[in-house]
């Protein structure tokens, strides 16, 4: 595993700047990997699936450290608005969920009260212990075959719009296979 400083440099490059969320995300992912005993996620890229629970800066850092990307099907997003990630070791079946403690912001402010909030958080998040920053717990995660990296499965055609649907994401409605959009789960509307 790289050092904190190395990951922070890489995170700043990948994200476009360094912020408190990046520092927290790097630390969160480093802890998750250490707990699972994964020292080199690049060398074992199909061993790990990571679930992130927020679409903020933290997630970019977690993806970088864990070497998990959405396009490689190793990064899963759950829109729960929490600064947390679950790391699943596909080789052993073990999984650990790491969540930032709400009290970490206060601990950062107390550690560097003279600094502007963002600067103080960045500096504190790099120095505070894992126990002050995070809660961690061992969990069980059943990763379905269609959610695994490298899964090859049948492609279904939506009976309504004719678009292809991968990875068993179709919905059965009135005996027809529909995409989620045609089944009524649209996040958009036609203009």
Q: If the chain, 191 residues long, is cut into consecutive pieces of 10 residues, what is the mean pLDDT of each piece?
A: 96 94 97 97 91 96 96 94 97 97 95 94 97 98 90 91 93 95 90 90
CA distance 121 to 105: 7
Residues of the chain with CATH 3.30.60: 153-191
Q: In this predicted structure, what is the pLDDT of residue 56?
A: 94
CATH fold of 153-191 reads: Wheat Germ Agglutinin (Isolectin 2); domain 1 (3.30.60)
Closest CA to 128 of 103, 108, 101: 108
Sign of CA dihedral 11, 59, 16, 117: negative
Residues of the chain with CATH 3.30.1330.130: 4-144
The H-assigned helical ranges of the chain are 4-15, 20-36, 57-66, 104-111, 117-127, 130-133
Q: In this predicted structure, what is the pLDDT of residue 20?
A: 96
Candidate CATH numbers 3.40.50.2030, 3.20.20.70, 3.30.1330.130, 1.25.40.10; the one for domain 4-144: 3.30.1330.130
Q: In this predicted structure, what is the pLDDT of residue 44?
A: 86
Q: In this predicted structure, what is the pLDDT of residue 151?
A: 85
Q: In this predicted structure, what is the pLDDT of residue 168?
A: 87
Q: In this predicted structure, what is the pLDDT of residue 158?
A: 97
């Amino acid at each position: 595993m790289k050092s904190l400083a190395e990951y922070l440099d890489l995170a700043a490059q990948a994200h476009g700047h360094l912020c408190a969320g990046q520092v927290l995300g790097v630390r969160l992912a480093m802890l998750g990997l250490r707990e699972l005993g994964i020292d080199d996620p690049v060398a074992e890229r199909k061993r790990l699936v990571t679930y992130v629970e927020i679409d903020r800066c933290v997630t970019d850092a977690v993806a970088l450290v864990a070497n998990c990307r959405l396009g490689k099907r190793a990064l899963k997003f759950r829109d729960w608005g929490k600064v947390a990630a679950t790391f699943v070791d596909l080789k052993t079946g073990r999984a650990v969920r790491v969540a930032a403690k709400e009290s970490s912001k206060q601990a950062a402010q107390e550690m560097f009260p003279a600094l502007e909030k963002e600067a103080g958080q960045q500096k504190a998040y790099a120095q505070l212990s894992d126990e002050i920053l995070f809660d961690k717990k061992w969990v069980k995660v059943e990763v379905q075959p269609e959610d695994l990296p490298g899964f090859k499965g049948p492609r279904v055609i939506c009976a309504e719009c004719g678009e292809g649907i991968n990875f068993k994401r179709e919905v059965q409605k009135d005996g027809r296979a529909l995409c989620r959009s045609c089944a009524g789960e649209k996040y958009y509307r036609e203009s």
